[in-house]
Structure 1
Amino acid sequence: MSTTTATATEQIPSSRTEADPARVAKGTPLAHTAGVPVYGWGQAPPYLRTKTQLVADRLNVTEAQEAAPLAYVRTRDYGDVPLHDPAAAEKMRPLPSSTKAKMAARRTCSECGKVRKVILRGPCSACRERAEKERQRLLARTCAGCSTVRERPYPKEHRRCAGCRQEQLEKKRARVEAWLVEVTVCAGDGCTKRRGSKRAARAWLKERPWLLRPERTDLPDGFSGWPSWERRCPPCVTAYEQEQERQRAEYRERYERQERERAERERQAAAARVRWAAEALVDPDVLVLDTETTGLGDDARIVELAVLNSRGEVLLDTLLDPGVPVPAEAADIHGITTEALSGAPTFSDVLVQLTGLLDGKRCLIYNKWYDVGRLRHELTLHYLDRAAREAAEETVRTGTVPEDVRERAVAEAAKQAAAWLDVMTFEDVMIPYSDWVGDYSDYHGNNRWQPLLGGHRAAGDCRAVLDCLRSMGRDYAHEYATAAAGAGGTSEGTN
């Protein structure tokens, strides 16, 4: 015998032969949870209540009831909700008078002082409706022109006193007369010929009284709502059409001229890009730099640095110990792990060599904003160490610790890093190369940036940059190679 059947049987009086309808389920269970039936909505025994319903009846569910519900009701939003017997629940203790007073105060209207059934934030709905009706009555008794308030409401058509109504009608007559003159006289420049009659215009206006409302005083010339007659006389119509055609022709000519100029600017810019690439390949003062880092954030450190000249000769190619572990996601890209950097020099160790290589040279970088940002970060940390040492020496010398020692050290390090970068010449290759490829993106409104296929190692990426320059400047490679040979230079990179 199930739990539900046993409970129902115990509640049947001995004098009755059938079960109490209030304790009999209206449907069969959908499932069972730990032996307790789960009913659909409206199918459980009617006498069972949810915890929320018991609280509304000032009853508390006991711990025994909480642990062993008699049934569940399945709901769409809350899942299976337990059902309990109200006869076994405990009555709530009556609320203190102070709590009742606070609850009543939250439901008391600030206007009429009556206690309502819901919590109020200001006047109750009845007071708000009464205030709105009073406002409407006051508005009906207030002149829309001079704001004079009287005992009786003003006419609903205009809601004005006699003086304001007379002034309104005079203004309307003036607008009508001006409108009649406007629509019955040729609209051509300097032409005063009559077009149509005022009687026909008045008849047409009576069917459209909204046209001359005060807010419609600046309707444009040629408005489609004017009467059907032509606003211009035949000579003025011809002159107007000729003027419109002249303006359209002038606009077309200006647009075509601007398009030709834009196309010429783009052609010149494209030619300048390829000549820039061809010239860079034979310029002995051109270097290519690339870095590999611990990530893409502002605090990413350099783990590999390479510098090649325009002929592809390696001038610097070294791993750098960043002093921090290399994240796994970065190592998966360039293959440089923390263990591989053990014993590698630091950025400070190669800074003098790097300065000697870049000083007075043109340094080409693919996406220079990122690499220059990493150089700035490394330089700031380098000069920060020096600034910290100087601050420590000052502390030892003076016997006092400056209050702003950290701020001074950071500011001085940033200043020294900016000074180092200012004397260098960095040029970007990514934007010119992407414009040369011309993979236009409608979404970005510009050419897509092209990936650098260098294997994600510093020296390999530098060689990939040189390959990009060769692809761009191949049309002028022989011309610049001949010029460089005549000047005593060599250019193996153009072969």
Structure 2
Amino acid sequence: MSTTTATEQIPPSRTETDPAPRPREHLGSLPVYGWGRAPAHLRTQTQMASERLKLAAEQKPVAYLYIQRHGTFELYDPADAEKMRPLPSSTKAKMAARRTCPECGKVRQAILNGRTCSVCRERKARERERLLARTCVGCKTVRERPYPDHRRCQSCRKEQLVKKRERVEAWIAEVTVCAADDCSARIGSKKAARAFLKSKEWLLSPERADLPSSMWWPDWPRRCPPCKEAYEAEQERQRAEYQARYEQQEKERQERERREAEERQRWAAAALADSDVLVLDTETTGLHAEARIVELAVLNSCGEVLLDTLLDPGEPVPGDAARIHKITSEMVAGAPTFSSIAVRLTELLDHKRVLIYNKWFDVERLRWELTLHYLDRAARELAAEAVGTNTVLESARERALVEAREQANAWIDAMTFEDVMIPYSDWVGDWSDYHGNNRWQPLDGGHRAAGDCRAVLDCLRAMGRAYADEYAAAAIGTGAMSEGTG
């Protein structure tokens, strides 16, 4: 970090000196100078170290230097500093070795650490360019003088021109005959074709000699008039056929989307009218794989609360989770555990359709709680078995964990869980080009279990509003028939 000297700021035409630099502000009693505005004799600690100076005991800064986006640095008076001890010769030798170029052996300003210096790299680059200019592109022959612009020796240049003439003759022979199948009518003279090529000088340049012949006729007719008309008619027929096929596919797609939208709406209306439909939601200690449930609620399709309770997770509720659902460790202290409500929950959900908003998360939380529930019971059974047989079972914990997982999976498989988030998000239709799908809609339920269940019912009512009366009447009719039969 250098500072601008007073003499550097004085033009040669001036004899008077500049006024003392003015600070931009004061920090305490010390001035703060901007970049290039500090007194020339002041130094930062890094500058003093480069000049082999160190701060004296209890030496204080006399000013500050402010650099935008880097902050404020202390400035010291080097007259009050102490000189550092001279470096040992071995240290100087090591420092010189780090700055020595292995190619030219000179000591440079920059640290190289075994790399070649910029001077040697530039010299090698120039040597490569000179060698490339003296090397034939075709046979790689190197001569003393650079080759012309085509960069070929005499024999390779002759071979290049021969190939070019052959390609020109082949192109002329090809483009003077109609390109349509089963037609050999001539569409132009060779003289006109040669004149066309001469007008395209960029095609005749040596750099373009290897271009495919298909790129040589962008403006040259390729078919005779009858064949051209037939070709354009065929192209028009294919475009019309493609357009008709596209319109048919678009019509089928719209019809398919209409049927899917109707199915989603009927599904929601039927769920609201079904007495065997329940809505479940949980609040947890987090989003990780071992998060515990701190609140669980189950409502029926009419909005009646069948179960709404806080649960003691057996561990503190993290602050991040508590800020979302406002359930703290103090609130769940003394609440029932999941094991204490497992039987009641099973009775509620058995043979019912359970609707969940983002069912994959809540089902996995239930699976984990059930695993811990069955694990505790399996562990007790294994402990009793070990006491009864007066033995220590090998891998008892692993065996109990496997059995607990199997029982939890069997419980989950016996239930019927349906997701609401995907059908509702598709019904809203907020398309995302980034994800290539409809965006998942947030559930506005206040992040409490019962409130989220009511929000799920609101989503179902919004989706099934068009068919709500139809399914409600059907449900009343079915109930009346059941009563009459009874």
Contact 1:73/1:83 (CA < 8 Å) preserved in 2? no
Q: How much has 1:98 moved relative to structure 2?
A: 0.8
| Residue among 74, 95, 105 paired with 1:103 | 95
Number of the residue aligned with 2:53 = 59
Q: Residues 185 and 411 from structure 1, CA distance in 2 versus in 1: closer, same or farther, beyond 3 angstroms?
A: farther
Unaligned runs of 5+ in 1: 1-23, 491-495
SS at match of 1:204: helix
Q: Give the SS at the match of 2:482.
A: coil
The answer as to 2:147 corresponding to 1:155 is yes
- What residue number does 1:132 align with? 125
> Structure 1 residue 171 and structure 2 residue 166: aligned?
no
Separation of aligned partners in 2, 1:39 and 1:432: 64
CA RMSD of aligned residues (A): 3.6
Deviation at 1:320?
2.2
1:376 deviates by 1.7
Residues 99-141 of structure 1 show CA distances to partners (whole Å, capped at 9, x for unaligned) of 1111111122212222233322422233223323333343344
Amino acid aligned to 1:485: G
Q: 1:453 touches 1:461 (CA, 8 Å); kept in 2?
A: yes
The match for 2:11 is: none
In the other structure, the counterpart of 2:13 is none
Structure 1 residues 165 and 43 mapped into 2: Cα distance closer, same or farther (>3 Å)? closer
Q: How does 1:36-51 map to 2 (within 5 A)?
A: 47-51=41-45
Counterparts of 1:154 and 1:112, CA distance in 2: 27
Is the aligned partner of 1:484 residue 2:467?
no
Contact kept in structure 2, 1:308 and 1:316, CA below 8 Å: yes
Is the 2:48–2:78 Cα contact (8 Å) retained in structure 1? no
Alignment of 1:23-422 (within 5 A): 26-27=19-20, 29-30=22-23, 47-64=41-58, 66-67=59-60, 69=62, 76=68, 77=70, 79=72, 81-86=74-79, 88-120=80-112, 121-147=114-140, 149-153=141-145, 155-211=147-203, 213=208, 215-217=210-212, 219=214, 226-227=218-219, 229-327=220-318, 330=321, 334=325, 336-389=327-380, 392=383, 399-400=391-392, 402=394, 409-422=400-413
Structure 2 residue runs without a partner (length 5+):
1-16
In the other structure, the counterpart of 1:7 is none
| Paired positions, count | 458
Equivalent AA in structure 1 for residue 136 of structure 2 = C
Given the superposition, is the C-alpha separation of residues 166 and 273 from structure 1 closer, same or farther in structure 2, using an over 3 Å criterion?
same
SS at match of 1:417: helix
Q: TM-score, normalised by structure 1?
A: 0.78
Whether the 8 Å contact between 1:275 and 1:476 is mirrored in structure 2 is: no
Give the aligned residue type for 1:59.
L
CA deviation after TM superposition for structure 1 residue 67, in Å: 1.9
Query: What SS is found at the alignment partner of 1:156?
Result: coil
Superposed CA offset, 1:413-453 (max 9, x none)? 43432232122211112322343344556676544544545
Measured after TM superposition, the shift of residue 207 of structure 1 is: 4.7
Cα drift, residue 256 of structure 1:
0.9
What is the DSSP-based 3-state SS (H/G/I as helix, E as strand, rest coil) of the residue aligned with 2:279?
strand
Q: Name the CA distance, whole Å, in 2 between partners of 1:113 and 1:313.
A: 89
Describe the SS at the equivalent of 1:488.
helix
CA contact 2:297–2:453 (8 Å) conserved in 1? yes
Higher mean C-alpha deviation, range 35-44 or range 293-302: 35-44
Change (3 A) 1:187 1:475: farther
Query: CA, structure 1 residues 203+407, in 2 after alignment: closer, same or farther (shift >3 Å)?
Result: farther
Deviation at 1:346, TM superposition (A): 1.2
Indicate how the Cα distance of structure 1 residues 236 and 416 shifts in structure 2: closer, same or farther if over 3 A, else same.
same
Does the CA-based 8 Å contact 1:38-1:80 persist in structure 2? no
Deviation at 1:232, TM superposition (A): 2.3
Identity %: 62
The question of whether the paired residues in 2 share the 8 Å contact of 1:183 and 1:231 is answered with yes
Cα distance in 2 between the residues matched to 1:291 and 1:118: 63
Tell me whether 305-314 or 417-426 shows the greater mean CA deviation.
Answer: 305-314
Specify whether residues 392 and 163 from structure 1 end up closer, same or farther in structure 2 by C-alpha distance, changes over 3 A only.
farther
Q: 1:194 and 1:41 mapped to 2: Cα distance?
A: 79
